[in-house]
Amino acid sequence: MSRQSVLACVGAVCLSLAGLPSLAIAGPFGDEAARAVAREQLALTSASDRLDAVAASARPLSRDENTTVASRETEAPDVSELASAASLSFSALDALPPATGDAQWQCLAEAIYFESRGEPIAGQIAVAEVVLNRTRSRSFPGTICGVTKQGVGSGRGCQFSYACDGLSDVMKASAARDRSEKLARLMIDGHPRIVSGGATYFHTRTIRPDWSRKFDRTVTIGQHMFYRPATQVAGG
């Protein structure tokens, strides 16, 4: 069936209904029919746009050196695109006013700064997500400072190396400190955790700890690899 552009006129207003079959609207119900056709066309256009958006987000994305996923994963979003979609970038952080907060905010800012200040924005977000994800896991303390300082004074090492390296925890690089503090504020205030894939662990590319073999790698960003507990499959 051929497709033509149709003008559906209601009073002095005419709508172009491209893509619909040619229609002849006449008689006392012509105006009402035109309104119905116009509403239908708008609904179809909106649905088509949504389907296009879903299809675009589901298509395989390219992977580069700084953004990879474990081979066991089928497909995973490009983390740089996720960070962009979340409206976070270094320029966006720089444009925000100085951040303030309590001791928990300070602990998260320090973790971001000391663990990832040289990483891309997605890597810094992922580190913050690991800390916050741990606070919701029964395997870790329930507060941010409890997570970042876990192991301090135990003599058995710390979960976050900077907490036990014997060096000052003063954030001396002002630009990186400001960004870490602003990012910590955003994450605590509820910014979506969409980058790390639910990770509760990470390590640098230069090492391969034994524990990493027990977990599922979710994503690699910059110099860090991120992991979450392996999925348990119930027995039959």
pLDDT digits (tens, 9 = 90+) for 112-139: 999 999 999 999 999 999 999 999 999 9
Q: Please tell me whether the overall predicted TM-score, pTM, comes out greater than 0.85 for this model.
A: no
Exposure pattern of 86-110 as b/e (b: 16+ CB <10 Å)? bebeeeebeeeeebeeeebbbbbbb
Structure tokens at 120: 């891309």
Residue 131 domain-assigned (yes or no)? yes
Domain match, 171 and 216 both: yes
Q: Are residues 31 and 86 in the same domain?
A: no
CA-to-CA separations, 174 to 111, 116, 138, in angstroms, rounded: 15, 15, 35
Residue whose C-alpha is closest to residue 97's, from 3, 185, 199, 5: 185
Taking each helix axis from N to C terminus, what angle separates 103-116 and 174-188, rounded to the nearest 10 degrees?
A: 130
Average pLDDT over residues 191-202: 93
What CATH number does the domain containing 149 carry? 1.10.10.2520
Chain mean pLDDT for the chain: 74
Range of the domain at 115: 67-229
Predicted local confidence at residue 21, as pLDDT: 42
Number of domains the chain contains: 2
- Answer whether residue 9 is part of any domain: yes
Alpha helical stretches, state H, 16-120: 30-58, 79-85, 90-95, 103-116
The answer on pLDDT for 1 being more than 70 is: no
Residue whose entry in the numeric block shows the structure tokens 């135990």? 154
Whether 234 is covered by a domain: the verdict is no
Other CB atoms within 10 Å distance of the CB of residue 165 = 11
193 token code pair: 């955790």
Residues 223 and 161 in one domain: yes
Residue 235 lies in a domain: no
For residue 45, is it within any domain?
A: yes
Same-domain check for residues 111 and 12: no
Same domain, 124 and 154: yes
Q: Residue 93 pLDDT > 90, yes or no?
A: yes
Residue 44 and residue 76 share a domain: no
Residue 126 is which amino acid? A
* Domain match, 190 and 85 both: yes
Residues 30-77 have pLDDT tens digits of 555 555 544 454 444 444 444 344 333 333 333 333 433 333 333 444
Instruction: State the average pLDDT over residues 157-171.
Output: 89
The answer to whether residues 41 and 141 belong to one domain is no
**Residues recorded for the chain:** 236
128 and 190 inside one domain: yes
Do residue 190 and residue 89 come from a single domain?
Answer: yes
First to last CA, the chain: 54
